[in-house]
Structure 1
Amino acid sequence: MSIYIKSITLVIGVFLLRPTALGQQYTTFGVILVLFAFGIHMLECLKNRKSYFVTRKNFIIILTSVLLWTYLLSHALVAGSNHLDFVIKASIAHIIVISCAAVILSHQKSNYMFFRHLMKIFIFFSITYTLTFILGMFLGISFDRLKLFNLPVEGYEQAGEVYFPFTQLYGFMTVGSLQLPRGLGFFRESGIFQAFLIWAFFNLNNYRLDNKKNKVLLFLGIVGTFSTTGIVTFFTVFAIKLFLTKRRFWSLILVSLSIFVLFYAPYIGLKSKSVTHSTSISDRSFATKTGLERLIENPVGIGLYNTESSKVANEGINLLAMSYTVGIIGLIIILVTYFLPIYGYAFKRSYLVGVIPFFITFLISQPILDAPFIYLMFMADYGSLTSFENDIKVKSDITKERDGYLRNIS
């Protein structure tokens, strides 16, 4: 019974952390719930007279994360960050959450239950969005009548409105006379939600949820974000998966499709958005260009959250745009944090497919460096890319292999 309480507590806890909608205001409560889940886990270990352990992959994630946030805090101190208190709070929250979660999710059943619950929640978000879309766009029911309540998201004025049956929207995308609702899934931006949906789509089988219905629902959710990055990332990840499984012709086709979607897809392509959302595109491009120019001028960096000029709209909107704050060393450590855990996995290609949606989103689209939830996604149990149907046998084999890598920390 305690394992269920632990898993559900951890799930609730992460939805109170950034980059979720509630994480903007309630991170402290999220950290407390993660600590509570960790306490339950430790009591389980004592009760069953078992030493607690961390798998090799999770141990690498702890090391790289601690290295990253120790560097960011030290760098901000030396550089004289304008918001040093933010850096201190973010560092403490990340180190606590990642370390506690790494111990909990090293337990195979806990890992399985936690990520399976997350996938079900993402599927639920896709279902509610699809129902809201059908009611508003096809059945002609006014979205004002569908509105249930407002859930304010600090710093994000467009987010917060919750519609029947239980859909949080990131406002509406205006295309001609149409007002298209953008799914948000209780994250702070649609451009972040899409990364979690794409992750779920390509990892359904690892948690025994792989069927056509779930794939269709998740794909509808991805499209419903109306995120250019989301659609391009989906086809890019699909292409990478095909390439890694030696289906390189189809991989090339999907890469070509991704490029076409990026520029020419109706509503969400850059050509369409340059007409309907020209300010957003130009601001993001200028912020990215300015960030890289400042990095070249000062490769050491000026410190996290230390903005130089309020004249630049969307300053620090993605990794490239914020690169000048963390410097070259910071960028290298961020890359290490995302990709070094691959050496803790038996199926390295599967980890790559799992982490790419978040990395692409961070690289060109969203500021998710200080989002603890993201780092927990690196800890999922990624199975084989080429033998999904044998997931039960694969999990058994992975466990045996990983047992040789367990690090006792009792």
Structure 2
Amino acid sequence: MKGISLISLFSVALVLNTFLMRPAALGQEYVSVAMVLSVVLVGTYLVARGRATRTIYSSGRKDILFVICLVIAYWFYELPLGMAQSGDDILLAKDLISSIVVAVCYAIFLVEEKANEAFFRIFTTLIALLGWSSIVTLILSSIVGLDHLFLFPIKVKGYEQTAITGDGMTTGGIYFPFSMLYSVYTSGQLQLNRYSNFFREAGIYQAVSIFCFAYELCTRRSKIMAVGLIAGALSTLSTLGLVLLPLTAGLVYITRRKVNILRVAALGFFAVVAVVALLFTPAVGLADKLDSHGTSVTDRSDAISRGIASSWTAPLGTGLFSERKAGDSICLLAAITAIGLPGFVIQLALLSGLRPGSRFVNPKVIACFPLFVTAVFSQPIAGSGMTYVLVMVSVPTALRRQRSEPTSAPIRGNHIDGPAIAIR
């Protein structure tokens, strides 16, 4: 029986470590632990490999170097801005150090092609299994009741005051087999459980699930995993997820085939489905949500309006951790108030998946699409450690995997990807 490889072993450890970073549920409290473990794990990996050859493709090296340069440029702007505007210097220093250390350590590991593929294969599998867990919890709870499935709670910083609901269910409660409850969504007589599955909010979990779904489709791996990822996105009951799921599936469908009239029409169909879902899905569509949970929509739109307005009144920003009103960092558009237009543009470049020399629409851009949209309009995931790791993804197509044996000129699609570098 073949033993587990060194790359797979450390990929598992590094995947688990990302759940100690923001925007994971434990990230608010354990980001320092994640930073230390990043150094220890990557350092140990390099020592364990010794002088073994690491094959690094030119495109992957440029991609990850671009990400690191953007992270450094972001902090080169935000650090002096925050200090000049009397922001919280301690929080600034912690965020700076953890962001740079995590990004650099994971970059050192993920720059290797096989390590990148192993890491995101394992990460995607874990997110899919959490989605399948939500299915099991949903089915069993309809039979025996959710309370009978309760295992234990975990503390989610910032949600302590809403930890216990009237029915005894907990925000951050873990239910058999391994599903994490976010909240109970009530619309009229209807009550639905929302799952965040070890992310701070359900709206964040849907973005990561759909990111992994796109990666799964582009790499053409497992339908079982794809179903789990779809289930995970739907179990969040996220209104934005209802839009991103069909749109992302449509974009993957188009990019995997030659463009023609029928396929453009198919993308239009996916877009129509997304809009209809956004507006009219019972309970979680905008039409019903404005009636039952109108403040969740209006609060976000107000924060976005303030952010857009500040791009004219204070385009340089007021500095990180200098929120004037609640919700000023609820999403990237709202965060313009604090980070300014330069910080906003840098984060857009990071999240978009666009890299120098790449096509405008490519598998990496499609995979990053749900993260990009969620960060811009819905959730505060920009600038988080896990987000920096996710945008380092390399999306190998089935064709590339067949041809990616170490050669002097690896082929990606129909064009030369540049020479591989063998590091000893």
* Structure 1 segment 176-195 matched on structure 2, within 5 A: 176-195=188-207
Q: Name the CA shift for 1:13/1:402 in 2 (closer, same or farther; >3 Å).
A: farther
Question: How many Å separate the matches in 2 of 1:86 and 1:238?
Answer: 39
Query: Residue 3 of structure 1: CA displacement?
Result: 2.7
Match of residue 44, structure 2, among 15, 31, 40: 40
Query: Is 1:20 aligned to residue 24 of structure 2?
Result: yes
- TM normalised by structure 1 equals 0.89
**2:146 is matched by which residue type in structure 1?**
F
Could you tell me which residue of structure 2 aligns to residue 228 of structure 1? 239
Could you tell me which residue of structure 1 aligns to residue 168 of structure 2? none
Query: Residue 142 of structure 1: CA displacement?
Result: 2.0
Query: Is 1:155 aligned to residue 158 of structure 2?
Result: yes
Q: Deviations over 1:32-68 (max 9, x none)?
A: 1111121123214534276989712111111111111
Q: Name the CA shift for 1:281/1:33 in 2 (closer, same or farther; >3 Å).
A: same
Could you tell me which residue of structure 1 aligns to residue 307 of structure 2? 291
Query: Residue 342 of structure 1: CA displacement?
Result: 2.5
Question: How many Å separate the matches in 1 of 2:422 and 2:294?
Answer: 52
Query: Residue 242 of structure 1: CA displacement?
Result: 4.2
The structure where helix makes up a greater share of residues is 1
**1:14 is matched by which residue type in structure 2?**
T
Query: Residue 129 of structure 1: CA displacement?
Result: 0.6
SS in 2 for 1:343: coil
Q: Name the CA shift for 1:324/1:345 in 2 (closer, same or farther; >3 Å).
A: same
Question: How many Å separate the matches in 2 of 1:238 and 1:206?
Answer: 10
Q: Deviations over 1:281-339 (max 9, x none)?
A: 11111121122223321111100121123xxx433211111111111111122222234
**1:354 is matched by which residue type in structure 2?**
A
Could you tell me which residue of structure 1 aligns to residue 125 of structure 2? 120
* Structure 1 segment 9-408 matched on structure 2, within 5 A: 9-48=13-52, 55-81=61-87, 83-137=88-142, 139=143, 141-156=144-159, 157=162, 159-205=171-217, 209-211=221-223, 213-244=224-255, 245=257, 246=259, 247-309=263-325, 313-339=326-352, 341-343=354-356, 349-384=362-397, 388=398, 390=399, 392-396=401-405, 397-398=410-411, 401-402=416-417, 404=419
* 5+ residue gaps, structure 1: none
> In angstroms, what is the RMSD of aligned CA positions?
2.5
Question: How many Å separate the matches in 1 of 2:199 and 2:31?
Answer: 13
Q: How many residues align?
A: 398
**2:85 is matched by which residue type in structure 1?**
A
* 5+ residue gaps, structure 2: 164-170
- TM normalised by structure 2 equals 0.87
Question: How many Å separate the matches in 2 of 1:23 and 1:147?
Answer: 23
Decide whether the 8 Å contact of 1:55 with 1:405 is kept in 2: no
Decide whether the 8 Å contact of 2:347 with 2:383 is kept in 1: no
SS in 1 for 2:321: coil
SS in 2 for 1:168: strand
Query: Residue 86 of structure 1: CA displacement?
Result: 1.4
Q: Name the CA shift for 1:110/1:155 in 2 (closer, same or farther; >3 Å).
A: same
**1:298 is matched by which residue type in structure 2?**
A
Q: Name the CA shift for 1:112/1:340 in 2 (closer, same or farther; >3 Å).
A: closer
Query: Residue 100 of structure 1: CA displacement?
Result: 1.1
SS in 1 for 2:328: coil
Q: Name the CA shift for 1:393/1:205 in 2 (closer, same or farther; >3 Å).
A: farther
